[in-house]
C-alpha cells in the first residue's frame, strides 16, 4: 500500500509552476505589466488553494500526525522541521502578496525566490527521507486511514477541477515562456 505516490505527483506540479514563476520574475518586462500581475495573482491562488489548502492539509493533518504517533519515529524533530518549512513558505507568500498589493516588483521577486528555495529543499527532504520512513514504518491499518483521509480531502476540494485549473495554468506559463524566448 503506497500513501506517498500521490503527494509526489503533486510535488511535480508544484516544482514545475515554481520554476516557471521564478523564470518570469527574471524577465517581468517581457510579459507586460498587466499579464505579469495576473500571473502573480494566479500563482498566489495556486499556493493558497493547491499547495496550502490541499497538499499541505494532506501532509499536516494526517501524514505528519500518523508519523508522530508513539512508536513510529524515534524523533519528532523531522516533523517539526517540515512544519517550520511550510511556515517559511507562508512567510514568502505574504511577501509576494504584499509586493502585488504595492506593485513592488522587487518584493515579489524576493518572495518568489524565497518560496522557490524553501519548497525545493523541503520537497527534496520529504521525498528522500520522510516519505521513505512513512512507507517503511506506518502499519497497513494506519496507511488505510491515511488513504481514506486523502479521499475525503480530494472529494471536498473537487480534485479533478482543482487539478485541471492548475495544470492549465502550468501549460499557459510554459507557452508564455516559450514565446518570450522566441521573441527575444
- Residue 59 interacting with Fe ion (CB under 5 A): yes
At closest approach, how far in Å is the CB of 184 from Fe ion?
34
DSSP 49: I
| Residue 103 burial (CB count, 10 A) | 11
At closest approach, how far in Å is the CB of 101 from Fe ion?
27
Q: Which of residues 89 and 99 has its CB atom nearest to Fe ion in the complex?
A: 89
How far from each other are the two terminal CA atoms of the chain, in whole angstroms? 49
Report how many residues bind Fe ion under the rule CB under 5 A: 2
Site for Fe ion in 113-132 (CB under 5 A): 126
Give the DSSP per-residue string, 55-91: IHHHIIIIIHHHHTSTTT-S-SHHHHHHHHHHHHHHH
Q: Which of residues 88 and 176 has its CB atom nearest to Fe ion in the complex?
A: 88
- List CB contacts of 81: < 8 A, sequence separation 6 or more: 125
Burial of 175 (0-12, 13-18, 19+ CB in 10 A): exposed
Q: Which of residues 59 and 108 has its CB atom nearest to Fe ion in the complex?
A: 59
Site for Fe ion in 66-95 (CB under 5 A): none
At closest approach, how far in Å is the CB of 127 from Fe ion?
8
Stretch binding Fe ion (CB under 5 A), from 25-33, 51-59, 64-72, 97-105: 51-59
- Residue 58 interacting with Fe ion (CB under 5 A): no
At closest approach, how far in Å is the CB of 163 from Fe ion?
16
Let me know: does 21 contact 173? Beta carbons within 8 Å.
yes
Q: Is 71 left (phi over 0), alpha (psi -120 to 50) or beta?
A: left
At closest approach, how far in Å is the CB of 150 from Fe ion?
13
Note the residues at the interface with Fe ion (CB under 5 A): 59, 126
Amino acid at each position: 500500500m503506497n500513501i506517498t505516490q500521490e503527494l509526489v505527483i503533486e510535488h511535480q506540479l508544484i516544482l514545475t509552476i515554481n520554476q516557471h514563476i521564478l523564470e518570469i520574475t527574471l524577465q517581468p518586462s517581457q510579459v507586460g505589466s498587466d499579464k505579469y500581475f495576473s500571473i502573480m495573482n494566479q500563482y498566489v491562488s495556486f499556493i493558497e488553494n493547491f499547495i496550502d489548502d490541499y497538499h499541505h492539509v494532506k501532509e499536516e493533518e494526517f501524514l505528519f500526525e500518523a508519523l508522530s504517533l508513539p512508536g513510529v519515529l524515534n524523533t519528532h524533530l523531522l516533523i517539526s522541521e517540515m512544519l517550520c518549512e511550510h511556515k517559511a513558505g507562508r512567510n514568502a507568500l505574504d511577501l509576494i502578496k504584499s509586493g502585488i498589493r504595492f506593485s513592488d516588483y522587487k518584493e515579489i521577486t524576493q518572495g518568489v525566490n524565497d518560496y522557490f528555495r524553501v519548497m525545493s529543499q523541503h520537497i527534496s527532504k520529504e521525498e528522500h527521507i520522510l516519505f521513505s520512513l512513512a512507507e517503511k514504518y506506518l502499519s497497513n491499518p494506519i496507511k488505510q486511514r491515511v488513504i481514506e483521509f486523502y479521499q475525503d480531502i480530494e472529494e471536498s476540494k473537487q480534485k479533478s477541477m482543482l487539478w485541471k485549473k492548475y495544470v492549465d495554468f502550468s501549460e499557459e506559463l510554459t507557452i508564455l515562456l516559450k514565446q518570450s524566448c522566441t521573441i527575444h
